Structure 1
């Protein structure tokens, strides 16, 4: 039993040893041997070339006429028959000649195979590059067509939904008299108006909060010579009280202005329109800018809904950071020929008439 188990193991070891020896033999490249084989192959090729040159010279010496004339069929039947006999004799002489093959140890077959493989690899690489470019173009076209198809499907769904709503509405209206339709239309318009009023109130509150919490301080900073609105987001009252340098940087707040000097500066910039009671504190720069923004918006809205409609302009008393901000925010626009006139943009019409 033990002898039977050893025999397979011995055969496996012998097979592994023989395979390793064969692999070593096939991977054993001797540089000197390869160079000698290359030189031998080169000599064989040169000898073959010499033989061909000698045969060509002999053929030229034996030719009675020119080679060009012998290479073409003659118009004379007898001369043409003679040419055919010569060609037949040449084929009969070459037929028993053995084909020239490289020597068994020649590297010429390997070189020819390497050249063929190299050409095939280069052609495959070029084909891969060309195919990749085609795939890129096709993928881009496919994505574009898929986007167009998606848009078309959305449009189709919207149109189908609209058609279905119109059909249901038509069927509903066909069963009602004109009085019922009029009452429903009035109720719908009233509900729509209430919704618009509620939304306008909500947007107004949001605008008031935005002006009070963020915008007023930034407008006051720009008016005082500081950065434009948006460049300095959090503007404190102490920063506004200290003021800004000629380069637009905030001054140090170690020596703040006195109350009278600060109030005088506010009156010079924003005016003294607001009447302040004796027991109330004077407005700050941000509060003055807030009041100016709200007053300007009210004036612009009044001009918009006034006799001139959307074409009328409001006459500004002076150039201010408030008016410049509204223009930059695309909320209002100056007159094309007069920068002292301003109006709100009617978003239902073109930007310019």
Structure 2
């Protein structure tokens, strides 16, 4: 059975580790003896070079032929034939001459073997790095292709289920009269309308709960001169009653304002509607909650009115509620009149 890529890489890594251990292994040797052997090898090679140079000079002295010119093939066919015969004779003569081999104690074989081994190790390391990079790249492509294949299977299953439903519906419609089809369509629309109304009621309740428990106190703090919504999360009734300094910091709770002064502040900021006569006076958070609820109701009424998503609602004052809706990307001011605001109609046509 052929080896897998993981097994091949494991074997290569094991070989590299063993070669490195052998290379790093300490060996007992005589340094002086090694130096002597290296010196003898150098002298031997130098002597061999001098011998070859002497032979070459002797050949040049005896021969009348220009060696540099004879090294290239002549254009004359006869001269070229002589050159080929000379080369042939030289090969025949040298074939019987034993090749030069270093002595028994020479360090040249070990040096050549070490150089070859080093080149092999470097090349193997580069090949391993390149192979690992290719494997990583291939694995990434494989994961992407598998994800695409899974998406394709899911899309195919969804399309097949959709086609089956359409076929079943078409068969059912073909077996019903026009009156039955109209009745089914009316029942479907009524069920959708009821589901939308229930969802709208649920979302409205969740919105009022969020306003009452979290947002109203932060809106009141911003209207009273405190930090903007989100910068303070624990603004209690006592903190709102004490108010804020010009720098937006909460005032000390030791000097709480009187109820009359407190209600006068509420009346000045949120208006007379914030203090009904037949009920208990509102707190700052309750007044902000009431203002936000009324603003949202007016914005929805404007959106569903004759002007649709292009109509604006005119504000009575610059309130924290309006600024919060704009910062939250729920509403937008008129580009030329900051006293007008409208909800962003997410359901409008793209070409509007």
TM-score, normalised by the number of residues in structure 1: 0.85
- Residue equivalent to 2:18: none
Please say which structure displays the higher CA radius of gyration. 1
- Residue equivalent to 2:55: 55
CA gap of 1:106–1:190, structure 2 versus 1, over 3 A, is: same
CA distance in 2, matches of 1:342, 1:327: 9
- Structural mapping, 1:1-353, within 5 Å: 27-74=27-74, 79-80=79-80, 82-84=82-84, 86-277=86-277, 280-349=279-348, 353=352
CA shift at 1:87, angstroms?
A: 3.8
- More displaced, 237-246 or 156-165? 237-246
Count of aligned positions: 327
CA shift at 1:31, angstroms?
A: 1.6
What 5-or-longer segments of structure 2 have no aligned partner?
1-25
CA distance in 1, matches of 2:117, 2:299: 82
CA shift at 1:337, angstroms?
A: 2.4
CA gap of 1:267–1:148, structure 2 versus 1, over 3 A, is: same
CA gap of 1:192–1:82, structure 2 versus 1, over 3 A, is: closer
CA gap of 1:77–1:202, structure 2 versus 1, over 3 A, is: closer
CA shift at 1:351, angstroms?
A: 8.1
CA gap of 1:322–1:350, structure 2 versus 1, over 3 A, is: farther
CA distance in 1, matches of 2:50, 2:30: 30
What 5-or-longer segments of structure 1 have no aligned partner?
1-25
> Is the partner of 2:342 in helix, strand or coil?
strand
CA gap of 1:154–1:336, structure 2 versus 1, over 3 A, is: farther
CA gap of 1:155–1:88, structure 2 versus 1, over 3 A, is: closer
Q: Is the 8 A contact 1:345 1:351 kept in 2?
A: no
Q: Is the 8 A contact 1:312 1:343 kept in 2?
A: yes
CA gap of 1:350–1:51, structure 2 versus 1, over 3 A, is: farther
CA gap of 1:192–1:31, structure 2 versus 1, over 3 A, is: same
What is the RMSD computed on CA atoms of the aligned residues? 2.3
CA shift at 1:105, angstroms?
A: 1.7
CA gap of 1:193–1:66, structure 2 versus 1, over 3 A, is: same
Q: Is the 8 A contact 1:334 1:340 kept in 2?
A: yes
CA gap of 1:63–1:244, structure 2 versus 1, over 3 A, is: farther
> Is the partner of 1:273 in helix, strand or coil?
helix
